[in-house]
Structure 1
Amino acid sequence: MSSLISRFFVSSLLLLGIHAYHSRPKSEEHASTTDYDDQSTTLESIARISAPPHVPIEQPQTSDTEILEHLLTRGYDHRVRPPGEDGTIHGGPVVVTVNMLIRSISKIDNVNMEYSVQLTFRESWVDKRLSYGVKGDARPDFLILTAGQEIWMPDSFFQNEKQAYKHMIDKPNILIRVHKDGTILYSVRISLVLSCPMHLQYYPMDVQQCFIDLASYAYTTKDIEYIWKVEKPVQLKDGLSSSLPSFQLTNTSTTYCTSKTNTGAYSCLRTILSLRRQFSYYLLQLYIPSCMLVIVSWVSFWIDRTAVPARVTLGVTTLLTMTTQSSGINAKLPPVAYIKAIDVWIGACMTFIFCALLEFAWVTYIANKQDASKRARLDREKAELPFLQNSHNDVWVPREVAEQEREVMTVRLNRRQSNSFWKWIKTKTEWNDKSKRADLISRVLFPVLFLTFNISYWTHYGQYGVAIST
């Protein structure tokens, strides 16, 4: 009986062992096989080894992310503007505080009347729907929004803008901060091409005022009100005032330009840039060369009237040079209906040069007329000489009349030449020659008139710059 019990017990143990062997995991079987074959490891066995599957580690969300998700997913609608002071949409307009940093001003175009500016534009407003804490708590002072997180923003645009773009290198140059009290700060770096209507009556001694006008496109003053920042609403980059090639930024001011249209009244802010044109370039490239051309045209007064090719070439060359210079200046300016300061100067210089050329024509005309009258008088005297010297018929009356006329002329000449100094001057300058007398008068008259013109020109147009600066 005992032997039967022992046999049954041994059989049960064997069955349990076989069942446990077949039910063990395959990984343990593979591990036992690998342990068994450690002494005979091959490349094939290494290749059959499989790495455990990668399980990503769950990253815990930061407090900033949790706050932003809570703010933007609890019913916040970025299409609706923030409520007013009383918490409703009718509680008053959203007050947007604006300031900007002007980084550069370039390409001031006189013909198209435009200029390029690069600035950092900043706006700030309060949206109580995005407030997440109070001052002094453990939460961060502000949160920075990233791409894809949309909030309500003012629809600001620049009224006198022709072209504009945002800078996107290396990343979009945009900053949006959400402070814990609901204050939003929006900052962006943009480049603009703005129109600048110019008044060129005093060109090139003018001072231009160019504007940067900012307004809301769709929201009236009942919804948005723009105001300037109290301290330093417009900042300038260091060295900007003197870095312009042809202008100098003399003053920057701010004002308001709220406009009324058929659709309502729109809040508007204006920045005024006072730009004074650099005069040194025009002094060296225009005024001094044109003065030299006028003076060179006077050289013909000292050239003998018989040197016709020299005097004509000098006058025509200076006139053509002045015309070319005038064309080069006008090519850089728009066609306007009024007279500019540069037009007065160029017109006066061309007038002096042209008058010098006309003076030579007048001298030539007088000289030819004198020569013709002299030849006629000699011919007449030759024709009358036989009658005056005809002693055959004893006709002495014409001779006596001629002698009396000579005596009268001699007395007059003696009276006129009683002054020895005047006689010396007339002898040296050949004053009695009308053609040479015209050259003598022109040598003094032209410089005096040109000097008088310069005094009146610079007195009149120079006062403009002084009045603007004061």
Structure 2
Amino acid sequence: MATRRSHVSVYNQDDANRYLVPLDLLRQYTVIHINFEEVCVLHARVLWINSTADVGALNLKRDKICDELARMKETIDQSNNSTITDDESSGYSLIDSLRDLSLLPLSEGTSPANFSENLLLPYLDENGTLPETILFNSPHELIRFDLGISPKYFHHHKSVGFHLEKACKAGKIEALGKDLHGRFGEELSGLGFDPLEIDQIIHGGSNLDDMLLEFSNTQQSDQRPFPATALLPFLKRINYDARSPPSFYSKEKVIVKTGMHDYEMDLWLRMAWRDLRLAHGLSKPILVNEYTFLKKIWRPDPFFTNAREATFHRVTYLNFYVFIFPNGDVLMEMRTLLKNSCPLLVLCKYPHDSQVCGTRISSIGMTQHNMEFQWFSRPTDAVRFNSNLQMPELVLTATTTQQCDGNRKSGNYSCIEALFQLDRNVRFHLASTYIPTAMCVVFSWISVWLPEEFVEGRIFVSLTVFLTLSAENSSAKESLPKVSYIKAIDYWFGFSSTFVFLTMMQALIVISLEHTSRAFKKDADAEIDNNRYRSMLLLLESRKYHKWARNLDSFCKVMYPVIFLIFLMIYAFVITEGPEDKCLRKVWK
């Protein structure tokens, strides 16, 4: 109920039943006001401030008490190294030495404002040792320390405990961070993090490559992530700036792990980075799936440099989600429609060629010094394809990832590239090109088996097959770019068309020989009554031309299959083999 309404008022029995208020309580009071923000929160007896994270969460001022602690330690060290010793017989103690160093109040009546230099001395024991924690039982005890603890905390807690060492150790560690990695690029006071913890997380903490495994375990568990509204009070408390990248050291850059999932026409782009400003410390991650909340946090600015068209899916909702883990790790996944510009320039062996097509991702405005894209270390996390991916003409055989050149006129930008090894699906062309054209070639051989008197059959068979091959040739090359060299498919259609053309010419020759034979025979029949000798000579000429026609048909019946088989072997073992650019080498020479 507290997630929907923070305050309710109970006036009658129906309201009491709705909000589970006892009826006896309603009889005693006319109206009952319920503050869910107070009722639904369990408060500890002691509010402990045990780390710099607690200091940042409560937005406390620790400068005065932490500076006093450092000076107190320095004074005690000087006292221990001095010649003054603790002599019990003389009653001279370490407390006396601190008083001699003008650190104790001069008199009993000194007001608190006059010994601001001596804030921690009343908490020393007889040996001059400070306790680990100081317990404040009222807001009046905190006035001189100026911690900025609101009196309202004493309404929920009986006491406030302050751990001196853990809450004040940021000073030396911050200097260590500056010495190792340059000055801090972010203000740490409001984040609630120990700089040593920040340095450990950034340079020796969890690995971003393991985030996908953690994400998978989270998805498989029964725990639901917190909604995006849980992020709002946290962002407000730390004064989060979405325009500033999470680079806590000025000399370092933000590392963004990148991966692509289900690469098809639809692409899921995955990015993982670490933003310690978003380390909310809750028990479960926060899910952000609304663009209103996405604008409130920093995110990388990738774009596809070789894309002709790229759009986000917005039906029925903008397709993205962001998981913010308790330690500040962020995983973002978005769905885009991507059409890459992948020029296939080397087509010497088409359709038996192999092509390499790539997708490049670079930053729009953040240079290499500020942000760097990196692929996930595991190949399955970097580029993952749909197992049911099917392409009618190409087959994906291998993927590789690498860095690429991101130099532009405005600077040097991080660039990563995924290369896809694509082999041409020969079975597709076997069914759509090779078998139909081969059948056309074989069909053209019918003319040699037809009787010589079937003139129309011989002509129209060859002519029809030739026109069919021409249409098939145009259809096969329609989607290919115009190039100046001869491709393997050009050899195939060139031979097939030439072969069919020769069969048509052979049919014309046979028809011409038969026509001549019939002419001689007609003349012989006309001369048989007048001159038998001349008639016999004309019959011999007629038989000679007829025999030539029959012998040419018999020769072609055997040679057509032989020639075609020889061409198939040359095509398979010579034309379609060799380097991908073998036809270009001849041009270059």
Q: TM-score range by the shorter chain?
A: 0.5 to 0.7
1:124 and 2:288 correspond:
no
Which digits, 9 at most, give the CA deviation of each residue in 1:151-173, with x for residues without a partner?
22111111122333333456543
Which amino acid in the other structure matches residue 243 of structure 2? Answer: R
1:81 to 231, 245, 262: 245
CA contact (8 A) 2:349 2:577 kept: no
Partner of 2:233: 69
Secondary structure of the structure 1 residue equivalent to 2:559: helix
2:356 to 206, 209, 217: 209
CA contact (8 A) 1:205 1:461 kept: no
Which amino acid in the other structure matches residue 234 of structure 1? Answer: A
Distance 1:334 1:179 in 2: 49
User: Structure 1 residues 452, 93: CA separation in 2 closer, same or farther (over 3 Å shift)?
Assistant: same
User: Structure 1 residues 306, 368: CA separation in 2 closer, same or farther (over 3 Å shift)?
Assistant: same
Distance 1:318 1:291 in 2: 11
CA contact (8 A) 2:349 2:580 kept: no
User: Structure 1 residues 67, 321: CA separation in 2 closer, same or farther (over 3 Å shift)?
Assistant: closer
Which amino acid in the other structure matches residue 426 of structure 2? Answer: F
2:553 to 414, 419, 439: 439
Distance 2:257 2:555 in 1: 71
1:162 to 293, 308, 321: 308
> How far off is 1:351 after superposition?
0.7
CA contact (8 A) 1:97 1:227 kept: yes
Secondary structure of the structure 1 residue equivalent to 2:350: coil
Partner of 1:416: none
2:255 to 74, 80, 95: 95
Structure 2: gaps spanning 5 or more residues? 1-29, 42-56, 58-225, 534-542, 582-589
> How far off is 1:220 after superposition?
1.7
Which digits, 9 at most, give the CA deviation of each residue in 1:360-387, with x for residues without a partner?
223344555677789999999999999x
> How far off is 1:227 after superposition?
1.1
1:184 to 327, 330, 333: 330
1:272 to 401, 409, 419: 419
CA contact (8 A) 2:362 2:406 kept: no
Partner of 1:354: 501
Which digits, 9 at most, give the CA deviation of each residue in 1:308-328, with x for residues without a partner?
222112221221222222233
User: Structure 1 residues 325, 77: CA separation in 2 closer, same or farther (over 3 Å shift)?
Assistant: same
Give me the CA root mean square deviation: 4.0
1:223 to 370, 388, 404: 370
Distance 1:383 1:67 in 2: 120
Distance 2:234 2:241 in 1: 13
Which amino acid in the other structure matches residue 548 of structure 2? Answer: K
2:382 to 227, 230, 234: 234
Which digits, 9 at most, give the CA deviation of each residue in 1:245-304, with x for residues without a partner?
443322222111123222222211111222333322322332222222212212222334
2:440 to 293, 296, 302: 293
Which amino acid in the other structure matches residue 396 of structure 2? Answer: L
Partner of 2:283: 140
Q: Give runs of aligned pairs for residues 309-320 of structure 1, distance below 5 A.
A: 309-320=456-467
> How far off is 1:354 after superposition?
0.5
Secondary structure of the structure 2 residue equivalent to 1:448: helix
User: Structure 1 residues 55, 169: CA separation in 2 closer, same or farther (over 3 Å shift)?
Assistant: farther
Structure 1: gaps spanning 5 or more residues? 1-51, 106-115, 134-138, 387-428
Q: Give runs of aligned pairs for residues 5-16 of structure 1, distance below 5 A.
A: none
Secondary structure of the structure 2 residue equivalent to 1:219: strand
CA contact (8 A) 1:132 1:182 kept: yes
Distance 2:513 2:287 in 1: 90
Which amino acid in the other structure matches residue 447 of structure 1? Answer: P
Secondary structure of the structure 1 residue equivalent to 2:365: coil
Which amino acid in the other structure matches residue 177 of structure 1? Answer: F
2:343 to 177, 184, 197: 197
Which amino acid in the other structure matches residue 459 of structure 1? Answer: F
Secondary structure of the structure 2 residue equivalent to 1:239: coil
Which amino acid in the other structure matches residue 444 of structure 1? Answer: V
Instruction: Give me the TM-score of the superposition, normalised by structure 1.
Output: 0.64
CA contact (8 A) 2:348 2:580 kept: no
User: Structure 1 residues 72, 183: CA separation in 2 closer, same or farther (over 3 Å shift)?
Assistant: farther
Distance 2:530 2:400 in 1: 90
Distance 2:376 2:555 in 1: 68
> How far off is 1:97 after superposition?
1.3
User: Structure 1 residues 321, 55: CA separation in 2 closer, same or farther (over 3 Å shift)?
Assistant: farther
Which amino acid in the other structure matches residue 271 of structure 2? Answer: E
Which amino acid in the other structure matches residue 355 of structure 2? Answer: Q
> How far off is 1:96 after superposition?
1.3
Distance 2:551 2:236 in 1: 96
Distance 1:279 1:465 in 2: 17
Distance 1:152 1:464 in 2: 51
CA contact (8 A) 2:488 2:576 kept: no
Secondary structure of the structure 1 residue equivalent to 2:245: coil
2:299 to 153, 166, 173: 153
Distance 2:507 2:392 in 1: 44
Distance 1:205 1:99 in 2: 31
Partner of 1:322: 469
1:341 to 464, 488, 503: 488
> How far off is 1:349 after superposition?
0.9
Distance 2:34 2:357 in 1: 59
Q: Give runs of aligned pairs for residues 98-113 of structure 1, distance below 5 A.
A: 98-102=258-262, 105=264
Q: Give runs of aligned pairs for residues 389-468 of structure 1, distance below 5 A.
A: 433-463=547-577
CA contact (8 A) 1:430 1:436 kept: no
Secondary structure of the structure 1 residue equivalent to 2:367: coil
User: Structure 1 residues 341, 59: CA separation in 2 closer, same or farther (over 3 Å shift)?
Assistant: farther
User: Structure 1 residues 205, 142: CA separation in 2 closer, same or farther (over 3 Å shift)?
Assistant: same
- Report the more deviating stretch, 248-257 or 430-439: 430-439
CA contact (8 A) 2:321 2:334 kept: yes
CA contact (8 A) 2:514 2:545 kept: no
User: Structure 1 residues 368, 54: CA separation in 2 closer, same or farther (over 3 Å shift)?
Assistant: farther
